[in-house]
Structure 1
């Protein structure tokens, strides 16, 4: 099966699974619990039910492939063909009724992302990227903006509180860059880079299921996504991520991050 064929099936799985969180969106009875992690992340019955639906669909379409999901961990091996899932990326957005929560699904080969899917259920948007191929939004081609000057860039600072706690001086530097800057969270700003709406995103505190499904979308759209040292993202990356539309913009951002 080609990567394009895998992408078509993956996008269909994401689109079908969108019905699960949308049954719970802006409704009571979410069964909110708090995870035992560093930032006391919330989890709802929708997170778990969505991942269960995605896992079941992957198992039916790709028997024997490994699966790594946020809510239920690893099933099988990640050394060969495998899938990585964040069923609701932006649970805080979801439980507060804000429509910019996403669903992330990535296809990996020996840990390297080959296909990425960013699904925005409440917005009815599906971003798909194939390594060495094209990036699309609801089937139409997308690409990054050709911005090379940081002073002209539209920049989003994801996880601003975490960024400040990590390095107040860096946060101060980031607050002075770009033509336009906004504070945000989660996957949607990265998708907007791929779609040519904004030009760069800095991010921190992510897990592999937060960034690996995004990488093929950004790269297929002509952009760059790495860690803060400029290295390719892997299952072992430390969760500090920078996305940029062009190599020149990426280099300028790494310089700002490095001080």
Structure 2
């Protein structure tokens, strides 16, 4: 990729994340915030903030890069004519957003035919941003800037594992997850995309989830891989359009977790 395009993509992904901070914080913890339910058999909330953030990014892309594709959670996909696609989850963790918890984030990624190669996980309320790809792997926040680098924990017995929900998927998926959880030192829940950011920051070792969509995992893939980690499905292949995800800090932890998931 030519240097000017690299520079434009990095500039734009920061610009989009900045704009998303402003828009999400206009609604976060405000009285009267409500949500529509997108699910017929559960609770899959969407708020005015979700839709507004994705729309503003789409509008800016239509001006700046009209040939790029768009895949987002809230609106119909736009096919690519350039070979690049922006993957947007305007608020990953809408349940947390709706509850007033700061454990949600804005996910933006750029992907080509090989997958996501640039991504950002942004937490507007805390003011933290995790950027990975195109030779960059950095975190910025209240404590300043820091390089992203995954941990080298060699043994699952010393590992910290995260997942958003304890009821991770099907009964078989729950049993597989519990095999890994039992083998780990510590398991915690409920962090949404922030868990992936903690893995890239070198604070934890594993994130295991199921039932994901592409917009849930594209940005975390780019950020974690830039930090030296690994993200695959539970069988070691590409996560692809979503589904199961096994994010690990290093090859040793990844192999041990995958063996238990498939035991």
- How much does 1:5 deviate? 4.2
Alpha-carbon distance between aligned partners in 1 of 2:40 and 2:126, rounded to the nearest angstrom: 29
Partner-residue secondary structure (3-state), 2:77:
strand
- Find out whether 1:190 has 2:190 as its counterpart: no
Match of 2:249 in 1: 245
Match of 2:155 in 1: 149
Q: How does 1:1-259 map to 2 (within 5 A)?
A: 1-3=4-6, 5-36=8-39, 39-77=42-80, 80-110=83-113, 112-131=115-134, 133-138=135-140, 140-163=146-169, 165-235=171-241, 237=242, 239-259=243-263
Instruction: Write the deviation string for residues 17-40 of structure 1: whole angstroms up to 9, x where unpaired.
Output: 211110000112323110035643
Alpha-carbon distance between aligned partners in 2 of 1:188 and 1:38, rounded to the nearest angstrom: 27
Kept in 2, the 8 Å contact 1:154–1:180? The answer is: yes
Instruction: Write the deviation string for residues 134-192 of structure 1: whole angstroms up to 9, x where unpaired.
Output: 31112532101111111111111332113464434324313312222212242110110
Structure 1 pair 248/192, CA: closer, same or farther in 2 (3 Å)? same
Alpha-carbon distance between aligned partners in 2 of 1:168 and 1:243, rounded to the nearest angstrom: 17
Alpha-carbon distance between aligned partners in 1 of 2:246 and 2:18, rounded to the nearest angstrom: 27
Kept in 2, the 8 Å contact 1:30–1:46? The answer is: no
Instruction: Write the deviation string for residues 54-111 of structure 1: whole angstroms up to 9, x where unpaired.
Output: 2122223322211111001202327711101000000000000000111000101136
Structure 1 pair 76/224, CA: closer, same or farther in 2 (3 Å)? same
Kept in 2, the 8 Å contact 1:158–1:204? The answer is: no
Kept in 2, the 8 Å contact 1:163–1:171? The answer is: no
Partner-residue secondary structure (3-state), 2:39:
coil
Alpha-carbon distance between aligned partners in 1 of 2:149 and 2:5, rounded to the nearest angstrom: 22
- How much does 1:16 deviate? 2.1
TM-score w.r.t. structure 2 length? 0.90
Question: Alpha carbon RMSD of aligned pairs, Å?
Answer: 1.9
Alpha-carbon distance between aligned partners in 1 of 2:60 and 2:123, rounded to the nearest angstrom: 18
Alpha-carbon distance between aligned partners in 2 of 1:177 and 1:47, rounded to the nearest angstrom: 37
Structure 1 pair 37/244, CA: closer, same or farther in 2 (3 Å)? farther
Alpha-carbon distance between aligned partners in 2 of 1:177 and 1:8, rounded to the nearest angstrom: 42
Alpha-carbon distance between aligned partners in 1 of 2:81 and 2:254, rounded to the nearest angstrom: 30
Alpha-carbon distance between aligned partners in 2 of 1:116 and 1:226, rounded to the nearest angstrom: 16
TM-score w.r.t. structure 1 length? 0.92
- How much does 1:232 deviate? 1.9
